[in-house]
Amino acid sequence: MSQLNKQSTIVTALISIFLGIVVGAIAMQLAGYNAITAYQALFQGSLFQAFDLGETIRTTTPLILAGLSVAIAFRTGLFNIGVEGQMIIAQLSALIVGIKLNLPPGLHAIVAVLVGGIAGALWAFLPGFLKAVRGVHEVIICIMMNFIALYLSNVLIRNWLTESGADSTPKISPNASLRVDFLSEMFDHSRIHLGIVIALLMAFVMYYLLWRTKLGYELRAVGYNPYAAEYAGMNVKRNIIVSMLISGFFAGLAGAGEVLGTHGYIAIQSAFTGIGFDGIAVALLGANTPIGVIFSALLFGVLTYGSQNMEHMAQVPPELIRVVVAAIIFFVAANISGKLLDVVKTKRRAKES
């Protein structure tokens, strides 16, 4: 039974992606662009050269972690829409460690990454705590915490971390950087960094935790049915808080990777980057499984990074790629492929009988 489920989720995802790409192609044709050249440019621009491949992986890295973050909360029946805010706070904390501390190379990066993760976890603790103790819906708190994070970060950057009110902070110490020479060389000086290793490691951690430990069993049980879990003697409140902490930790690692690997500094942001929100879509498409998240994050990475090249080579506005993304999500959420499979199944049955 479980195998059947697994297979049908993969099929669902593939059918949805396929339909999404078709819908995107129709939209492009209707808008007067050549869909084939557009998709050519998309894939060619994201995968074919070492530099682009590196940048695609760089784009994918935070998406994996954001996806894992959303997925683990989903498994416990929580909707962590606050990944964005947790990432921002983690970014800020990792940056502060990266600028203000003076540690030997390697150790500095490890400390900064951990501080980032912990900061993200703490930022997620509050919504989890309020949900567990007071029954406040985590979505509301998370959304508000996103804005607090965004503006808090802007104020601190402006008034504390920059000189003379510049709009971006100084760069982190090279000791804290997640970029390593051999990776950069291998990918033609793109900004790929060790965050991808962390992301893949965390995917394994999530798998091990959820399916190989008692804690993971409890988390999933709370997600299936909190009342049953409580009746079985599990501490639901504690599990909700733990789930949010882990979720925030993953989000925090995503943020830390962005600042320590990709940028090396933070600029004042007037709006969210959207990575945290994309994480929701990644988790949905990946059916909340670690391996699914990795692949769907890769797809999103290719679409996001490749869309820039689509504009460059085929003059197709990158916004159209968001149509593809939205369509994919729509087909997954509406479970269109399930309906299709049902039709196939009934036909087959009709034939057999």
Partner 1 sequence: MKKRAWLSLLLSSVLVLAVGCSGQKGAEGGGDKAAGFKLGLVTDTGGLNDQSFNQISWEGAKRAQKELGVDIQPLESKRDDDYIPNLTKFAREKRDIIWATGFKFEKVIPEVAEQFPNVHFGIVDSNLGGKIPKNVVAVTFKEHEGSFLAGVAAALTTKTNKIGFIGGISSPLIKKFESGFRAGVKAANPKAQVTVAYAESFNDVTKGRSLAKNMYNSGIDVIYHAAGGVGKGLFDEVKTRDKGKYWAIGVDMDQSGLAPDHTLTSMVKRVDTAIFNITKDLKEKKLETGKEVQLGFKENALDLAKSQHLKPDVMKKIEEYKQKIINGEIKVPKTEAELASFK
Residues that bind partner 1 in the complex, under the rule CB under 8 A: 4, 7-8, 10-11, 14-15, 17-18, 21, 36-37, 39-41, 43-44, 47-48, 51-52, 55, 59, 154, 158, 164-168, 171, 189-191, 262-265, 267-268, 270-271, 273-274, 305, 307-309, 311-313, 318, 341, 344, 348
**SS3 of residue 289 by DSSP:** coil
Name the residue with tokens 């939205």.
Answer: 326
The four Cα atoms 141, 216, 223, 131 give a dihedral, to 10 degrees, of -30
Give the nearer residue to partner 1 in terms of CB position, either 59 or 93: 59
Task: Give the position of tokens 């070492």.
Answer: 50
Q: What is the DSSP letter of 160?
A: I
* CB closer to partner 1 out of 17 and 198: 17
Least distance between partner 1 and beta carbon 60 (Å): 12
Q: Could you tell me the smallest distance in angstroms from the CB atom of residue 289 to partner 1?
A: 16
Nearer Cβ to partner 1, position 85 or 216? 85
Q: Whole-number minimum distance, CB 84 to partner 1, in Å?
A: 13
User: At residue 118, what is the residue type?
Assistant: I
Question: How far are the Cα atoms of 145, 275, 317 from residue 328, in angstroms, in the given order?
Answer: 28, 17, 19
- Integer Cα distance of 256 and 92 in angstroms: 8
- Cβ proximity to partner 1: between 51 and 207 the closer is 51
Please report how close the Cβ of residue 246 comes to partner 1 at its closest, in angstroms. Answer: 26
State in angstroms the smallest separation of the CB of 299 from partner 1.
10
Least distance to partner 1 from the beta carbon of 165, Å? 6
Rg over alpha carbons for the chain, rounded to the nearest Å, is: 21
Query: How far is Cα 195 from Cα 57, in angstroms, rounded to an integer?
Result: 10
Nearest CB to partner 1, comparing residues 158 and 237: 158
Q: 40's torsion region: left (phi>0), alpha (psi -120 to 50) or beta? A: alpha
**Which residue, 49 or 235, has its beta carbon nearer to partner 1?**
49
